[in-house]
Homo-oligomer: A and B are copies of this chain.
Amino acid sequence: MEHLRQLTRRIVNRININLRGPKVDCGPYALELIPEEKFAQFYAFYGLSPDLPLHLKFKNSCLAGSYLLGRCTVEHSLIYKTDIRGDEFKRKGTHFDYEGLSIPLHHDEKVVIKDSFLIKTLVHNFSHDPENLEEFVIKNTLSLHHANIHGAPMEGAFLGPFATVDLTSLHDCVIGTFAYVQVGELSHQWIEPGMVWVRSEGSFDFRYRFPLEPLKKYIDMKPNERPTGMLFDFVESKKQEFESIYSRVQNQPPFSTKGASVSPYAVVKPKTLIGENVLVAQRAYVENSSLGRGSNAQENCYIIDSTLDGNNVTAHGGKIINSTLGQNVFVGFNAFVHGKPNAIITIGKDSIIMPHAVIDAQEPVTIPENTLVWGLVTCQKDLELNSVSLDKLAQVDGKWEQGSMVFQGHGKAFVEAFKHRITHILEANGAFFDGKDMGGHAQKGQDISFNIIQPYAEGPFRGMYPTMDIRHLVD
């Protein structure tokens, strides 16, 4: 595996050059993090669908355990158990609107991953960089376990485990463990672990910093070590359940509810009810739960011993255990809604659990309807500082602090932006499909066929993949 080893070192050096400003050495977080054997052990796969653009180009890369869909170029990179989901990329002929300008696209958007190392990362949504409409670039970037790169091109970035970069272009930035940013653009910044930051320039700014010591209980990472903490352990404990799925060529989805789609690469355990127009994405895990009409469980979600009433969004990496959710409840990226049999979490309809919120109930916790929840909540009382009624928030104009949360700007704009986005996600996933119109991923996902690609099993290129160019028959 000499070649793979050299490639890893080369990527680390390139990233370190980009991050020489803040003097970051990402080597201890990348080199020897994954036992070399693992790179040769897992196959990669890609989806083929007549409804989606297709152009895959792989060169001098390792794709172990990764899934690719759409138009993706991967060069001089390691992508390990990573999903590149190109089904929401911008399409040729559509227009990108930016500050009153409307620019038509020359060609279908593609993601270009160069000189990067992505570990168990989800790359999804289209690039929101108005300067590069057709190319979603990820370059000189290291992203660690269960990070989300969501519509976020980046050059010279280091994302800690469970970090999420959402609709934000990054240039030479470090995004700490379990940090979440949705701020449009960032250059030469170091975002601390556990920071949650949502900003719309000139409109609002929401910031919350997770208390550092408690955060370590949930997720932490030291140089030269694997991540630790309850979040990481939880995900690791379910890993084996996926293995039997990946050992078969074609999996039959276990459900055939009208308008619903359960990925053949999802784990669905007994006593699960799937309503109409439900989407269960690949790498999602559902057990002993009821997913009401129009709900979706996105990649890396875990829904266990829970009831979701309907039109519930569980965003990428969201985890819901021993909980009861009313209609239209939104659970954000990597949120951990962790009830127990004797400490059920009940969430009223239309509520929003912020990305990277942790509700680790030590007693029954009830969240009223139409409520925004963030940060760390372990008991009912914690909600006093970590939640607000959306109606109340909508009335905020100016600066408003509560606990370690600081809000500035127009509360109404914040609430409306969130509501709008939730509706858009439901739409895109096909929640409102009426049997004819309003179809989304839940309906389209059924036509994807899965292709399996293997690395070199022996020799100096062991773990690396051949050079490939795969495109539609007529293109």
The residues of A with any CB-CB pair to B shorter than 8 Å are 3, 43, 48-51, 54, 59-60, 246-250, 447-461, 464-475
Query: Smallest Cβ distance from A369 to chain B, in angstroms?
Result: 41
Say how many copies of this protein the assembly contains.
Answer: 2
Main secondary structure of the interface of A (DSSP, over half): loop
A447 to B472, CA, bound (A): 30
Contact B456 A466 (CB under 8 A): no
Contact of A457 among B246, B247, B449 (CB under 8 A): B449
Contact A458 B454 (CB under 8 A): no
A51 to B454, CA, bound (A): 15
Query: Smallest Cβ distance from A452 to chain B, in angstroms?
Result: 4
* Chain B residues within 8 Å of A474, by CB: 461
Q: Take A246-B249, A247-B248 as given contacts and tell me if A453 and B456 are in contact as well, using a CB distance cutoff of 8 Å.
A: no
Query: Smallest Cβ distance from A315 to chain B, in angstroms?
Result: 28
Contact B458 A50 (CB under 8 A): yes
Contact B473 A60 (CB under 8 A): yes
Contact of A452 among B49, B54, B59, B452 (CB under 8 A): B452
Contact A467 B470 (CB under 8 A): yes
Contact of A458 among B3, B60, B447, B460 (CB under 8 A): B447
Complex A-B, nearest 4 residue pairs according to Cβ-Cβ distance, in ascending order: A50-B459, A449-B454, A452-B452, A469-B469
| Cross-chain pairs A/B with CB under 8 angstroms, 18 sampled | A3-B473, A48-B456, A50-B456, A50-B459, A60-B473, A246-B249, A247-B248, A447-B458, A449-B454, A449-B456, A461-B473, A464-B473, A465-B473, A466-B471, A467-B470, A467-B472, A467-B473, A467-B475
A54 to B459, CA, bound (A): 15
Contact A473 B469 (CB under 8 A): no
The chain B residue sitting closest to A60, CB to CB, is B473
* Chain B residues within 8 Å of A448, by CB: 457
With a 10 A CB-CB cut-off, give which of A249, A447, A461 has the most chain B CB atoms: A249
With a 10 A CB-CB cut-off, give which of A455, A457, A460, A472 has the most chain B CB atoms: A457
Query: Smallest Cβ distance from A468 to chain B, in angstroms?
Result: 5
* Chain B residues within 8 Å of A475, by CB: 467
A60 to B50, CA, bound (A): 15
Query: Smallest Cβ distance from A261 to chain B, in angstroms?
Result: 14
Contact B466 A48 (CB under 8 A): yes
* Chain B residues within 8 Å of A248, by CB: 247-249
Contact B454 A48 (CB under 8 A): yes
A313 to B409, CA, bound (A): 82
* Chain B residues within 8 Å of A250, by CB: 43, 247
Query: Smallest Cβ distance from A441 to chain B, in angstroms?
Result: 15
Contact A451 B449 (CB under 8 A): no
* Chain B residues within 8 Å of A451, by CB: 43, 451-454
13 more A-B residue pairs beyond the given contacts A448-B457, A465-B473, A468-B470, with a C-beta to C-beta distance below 8 A: A43-B250, A43-B451, A50-B458, A50-B460, A247-B248, A248-B248, A449-B457, A451-B454, A466-B470, A466-B471, A466-B473, A467-B470, A469-B469
